[in-house]
């Protein structure tokens, strides 16, 4: 199995994935990291692990589909350089990717984009639900539990097929900061484990070999 990481963050979950690869728990190959800025913390993690880094900066006033097409083109270049015959094979692992993909992009990589959301979907998902906003909403709703949802991306926002959910308690003393820390521990543990489960066939992604990826 081959995968490409897309991240606009510090790369904490990316680091846990790298460590799973170094331990031999995850034997899939990471073909590269795509990020949107040259100052993202995830870059340091990739370079330390010898993973190629590709920065695709968003141009001011650029529309979403134009940006997605440039990201798609970079993915194609990574695959071609790796000499992988079947362009359908890479999984796109979104780890803190801060852009909502357009339907065009989703159509190119249908059932091959994995994302993690820091709550128990379908609760507390959708536009604007990221970072501390999610945990604030969980606390405001007086939930007794939260957790992570690892899911496939589709044309909606946080609406794709759920692959794995893991829960943690919401404590009476919790703030959004303390809850976020507990949820992030689940994310770091379970994102690489889901990749392992896909790799060893415990999770089967639907229709992964169907369709045709366009050249742009």
Catalogue the active-site residues: 117
Cβ-in-10-Å burial (0-12, 13-18, 19+) of 172 comes to exposed
Dist CA 164 CA 161 (whole Å): 9
Please state, in angstroms and rounded to a whole number, the distance separating the CA atoms of residues 45 and 154. Answer: 28
Main-chain dihedrals φ then ψ at residue 127, nearest 5 degrees: -60, 135
**2-6 and 29-35: which strand pairing?**
parallel
User: Distance between CA atoms of 207 and 161, rounded to whole angstroms?
Assistant: 13
Residue pair 111/213 in contact (Cβ under 8 Å)? The answer is: no
- Cβ atoms 30, 21 nearer than 8 A: yes
């Amino acid at each position: 199995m081959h995968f490409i990481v897309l991240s606009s963050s510090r790369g904490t979950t990316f680091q846990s994935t790298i460590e799973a690869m170094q331990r031999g728990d995850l034997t899939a190959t990471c073909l590269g990291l795509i990020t949107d800025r040259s100052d993202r913390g995830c870059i340091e993690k990739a370079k330390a692990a010898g993973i190629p880094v590709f920065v695709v900066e968003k141009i001011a006033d650029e529309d979403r589909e134009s940006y997605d097409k440039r990201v798609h083109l970079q993915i194609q270049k990574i695959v071609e350089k790796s000499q992988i015959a079947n362009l359908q094979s890479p999984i796109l692992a979104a780890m803190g990717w801060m852009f909502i993909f357009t339907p065009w992009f989703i159509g190119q990589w249908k059932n091959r984009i994995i994302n993690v959301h820091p709550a128990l979907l379908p609760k507390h998902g959708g536009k604007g639900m990221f970072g501390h906003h999610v945990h604030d909403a969980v606390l405001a709703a007086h939930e007794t539990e939260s957790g992570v949802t690892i899911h496939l991306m589709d044309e909606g926002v946080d609406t794709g097929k759920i692959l794995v959910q893991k829960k943690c308690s919401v404590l009476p003393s919790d703030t959004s900061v303390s809850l976020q820390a507990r949820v992030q521990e689940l994310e770091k543990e379970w994102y690489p484990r889901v990749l392992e489960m896909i790799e060893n066939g415990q999770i089967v992604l639907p229709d992964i070999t169907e369709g045709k990826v366009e050249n742009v």
